[in-house]
Structure 1
Amino acid sequence: MTRAFFRSRLNCPGGAPDNPLDGEGNGRRQWSQVVLASCARYAQRGGLFEGVLIALILGLFVLDLELPLGAAPEFLYAGVVYFSLWSSRRQFPLLVTAGCTGLTLVGFLLSPAGTAVWIDLANRFFAVVLLWITLELGLARREAHQALRESHAELERRVRQRTSELSHAVDSLQDELLQRTKAERLLAESRERYRLLFDHAPYPMWIVDLDTLAFLDVNETAVRHYGYSREEFLRMTAKDIRPPEDVPRFLEAVPLAQDSPRIEGNWRHRKKDGSIIDVELGLYSFTIDGWRARLAVVNDVTEPTRITRELKESEERFRRIFDGAPIGMGIVGSDCRFLKVNEAFGEMLGYRPPELIGRTFGEITHPGDLDADLRLAEEVLRGARRSYHIEKRYRTKAGGVVWGQLTVTALRYREDGPIFALGMVQNITERKRAEAMRERLVGKIMVAQEDERRRIARDLHDGIGQTLTSLAVGLRSLEEARAMEEAAPQAKTLRRIAAEAVDEVRRIARGLRPSVLDDLGLAEAVRQYAREYRRAHGIAADVHVDGLAADRLPSAVETTLYRIIQEALTNAARHAAARTVSVVLHGTAGQVKAVIEDDGCGFDVDGGGAPCRPPGLGIQSMHERAALLNGTVAIESSPGKGTSVYVQIPLREGA
């Protein structure tokens, strides 16, 4: 009843038709028009495939309504759903399924009566289930197919990418093979160059394993220089070429060599013949065949080290000689300024050595000697003269003048280097003073000799001459005597006159030089002179001798002391009005001393000699005589207290 009602409402919207056949024909025409119009519109808006499927759905719906009872065209909707899955519109299968489901239900309501309701409903239920199962399976298949396409596309992309990568890898491998071939060729060439450089290097070289210290390779220069063969070297370690006493130091240095990329140092090595050489060793780290190794480059510096050591020793000897020399020494540069002076030179001039550094030698040279010294020094500094000697005067820091004997020698530290002047100065002030004193003394001696000649001439004329004249007259008278009685008194007188002449000659001879000084020595000569002094002047004279050895003193010393004692005693007799005098002689291993004292009136040594006597030439001659033998004379005296003369003369060879 319900299906008939809906069917009647659908076919006769305005009421029941008068002719059922006419209503059924009108319904078919209406559905055909609707289907055709719907397909045309969808085909225009969508696509041809989708329009065909919609037309097919509508056609099946019409068949569902028009087919006789018992037919089930709704199951054909599943085929349409299946084909809808091929649409490019992703939502189209779902719309088709929903539409087919709706048309299936509408068809249930509008299909002709006659079929059992529950059978038709069950068929349509299964048809709907089949629709959605078909949709689900189709969607799953489509998604699987889509995933498969995507997977296939991804696989193709990966294959293309892998192929491209493989192509690039093949190209890279070919390039790498070319580079490796080139590198191997360069390595072979490098090894060949290394071998050539290593074996023909001018310095001994070897490679040492840092872990075992074993030699891995040595060059030909090392083989020739050390005397070991290559095979012997390769059986040895770096410890074997060192002296045993140097091995502990070497082992201490090994850890440092392992940590530093480059090390240099000085060592001693031992050759095969046992000789020890000094070497400069350079170590360079690298890796060879996975082993940590060191390349050692050896420079034999035995000869340079010896030369350097000898040069340092020479310089040290020169420095010690220079600084400790007892004579003044200085080094002058090309500008005539002092570069170095020693202590003796500074002490000689009263300067500290640093005070003279930078000064010119002209600043300390006496103006009277500067021109000659400067001319000679310039010749040395420009190489025209090797050396020169000169005696010159120097000005001291205190303003005084000292004499120096200067010897200048050219110095050159290098063959092509500048010339320096080494000056050695010996202080000759005392010698110059002695020479001046000697010159004065010689002059005085010449004057004394003339005075002595005049005195001797006068004594000969007044004494011996007159005596001989008297003797000659007496001999003439004796010759004229006629009898022995007349001749006897005259002969006696002549004998007396001859004895007086002999005494006079002896007196003159003793005045010139006492013979006892040559025969018996100083002590006995002084004693004899003291005895004659007592007889001649009536003054008590005592002589004490102590410490004079049995050996004679040098002749110059004996003569000088004798004359000084003689002069002191003469001054005591002539000027001091002395009553007693004493002479003390004392000798030691290095010197001889004499002390002459009198109890006369004395004099003021500092005040000029008053009141008794002025200091005459006798005192000065005593000083000069002693100075000739590097001796000294000291006089102590005061008015009314006598005079003491102290003489000291050193004993030296040749004195």
Structure 2
Amino acid sequence: MKRPSESGSIDNRSTESSSPPGSASRRVEIEPWDIINSTNDLIFVHDWEGQILEVNRASCEVLGYTQDELLRLRLEDIDTPEHAADIPNRMNEIKRKRHHVFESSHRRKDGASIPVEVSAKLLTYNDKEFVIGIARDMTDRKNAARLLADSEWRFRSAFESSFLGTALVSPQGYFIDVNSAFCSMLGFSKTELVGLHFETVTFPADVELSREILRELVEGKIQDAQFEKRYQHKNGSHVWTEVSVALTRDSGGNPGYFIAQIHNINERKLVEAEKSQIHAQLIHSAKLASIGTLAAGVAHEINNPLTIIQGNIEFLRDYLSQMESPGQALQLLEKQEKGVRRIATIVNGLRTYARPDTDYIASVDLHKIIGDTVSLVGNIYLKSGIDLKFEMKSSYPFVKGSVGKIQQITMNLLSNAKDAIEKTETGGMIRIETEDASDSVILRVSDNGCGIELRFMEKVFDAFYTTKPPGKGTGLGLSIVQSLVESMNAKIELDSQPGLGTTFTLKFQRASKMDAQADRTKASLDQSVRGRALVVDDETSIREILRGYLEELGLEVLEAEDGMTALELVSTHTFEYVVTDIKMPKMGGDKLLLAIKSLKSPSPKLIVITGGILSEYTREQREAIRSCANGFLNKPFSREALHKVITLPLEK
């Protein structure tokens, strides 16, 4: 076989083109081996024994040999050992197929190896068979493949080990792949999720938002998106998540798949909800505080005219009683007095509800507290179609507690009962009853409302837990009730049946008779007194009412419209009794009490009357009342109440 350098052709054929006539002007004379030497591929010609017969320039340059050096080598000399062992098999394949493509690895003169892809073909020349092999350097391709494999490995590692849920989703919305974090988040296995449409596990209210975002990604309106959505857990609960999603595209710009990272934010949402609830409760508490202040002020302003009306009714009754036939007039007067008492009960209820809460525990009358509460809200519930019944079965209703706390507990329980009844279509009834136990007094609040399911009962006292619809409740009512009950060393129990109703049972510690004695002391109205009384109030009509009541007892009465005037009278006269208001111009009643105590020894019996509540006064005012006053009356008061305070022994 002649070398190309001698003949210009492997098979020694003429280089004349076989182009059709007329094309000679376009023919270019090029030596075939010049073309072979211009390629970057390695070209070898060898016989069946593997002896190299011819090579091109690229073979020399890539392998680092001269042409003469290569022509003295065999195939096993330029193949790496592991591939050289496979040469016989490759020769057989070439003989059998006449063409064979395979991967191998050539060894450079310096010992470095080069991965190649070889296309070997059988050629015949002068009745002899040769093999021409074209080897393409695969270094760049192998490196690219290795980099791609490394990249895929890193992606897979990050995909599987990420604490964030990760999902690959087709443009049609089906899960292509999901990681274990996402599976754990939703309670499904990977097998269950792959192939499932994302809407199947999306909270229904969030489906449309997800659709819109994916649609904008496909249309190219946005490149990526971050949003909050809820998924449906396998157990039926919902999981709040923060989703970051982007769309991959192929080289032609066509959608490939969505890749989404899903962060579980359930705990954050719970904290946000709690903060929101607390904020709402603080606003609500602030409103209640302002309402309480308003109620206390209104009570004070209403109680003064009520005192006047009450006093005049009693005087008018005395006057009518002296007439021969006052029957109808007395009946009308009785109705008017009932109206006054009703107003007074409501105002006093508001005044009690407005009282700031304290930890002070005393002997309190449970029947009176519940009665005042029922009087306050009874008509409201009646107009809502709810019958409110109060049965006082306890023979001794004095318990250790706080008036304000017990009233707040009762109001909360009544409110819950009202909400439960409104969920039913039948008429509602709330029953409040007391009864005696061995060392306690039982308060029971029952309703015939919708009841509470067993699975919810253990959670109803948890803060922020509510079965009411959004906007209906804060989830703090029963939590506050339990806290108030425990602060008085009392106990609360719950019993409920769905569809039948709910009963709350509270057990209060019974107060000893000694503790309650002061609340039960009776005084005889027939007892007469002697001496002089000073009436101090800035309202003329109230002074007139007080004068009339006290003169009935046989007392001489002087009046003063403020504390300063009263102090001048006390310094020049002797008084057995001083009846004074607290809030007055020039000098208030509290300063008057202290001044009298310092001037007179022994001092007269000092009695305080007020239309407000003790807790709305300053600390100095409260201390003056506690240390100096021998009696205390809330406006409006009756003749009987004033007479009782006047005739009681001097001890406070």
TM-score range, shorter chain: 0.3 to 0.5
In proportion to residue count, which structure has more helix?
A: 1
Which one has a bigger Cα radius of gyration?
1
TM-score (norm 1): 0.39
In proportion to residue count, which structure has more strand?
A: 2
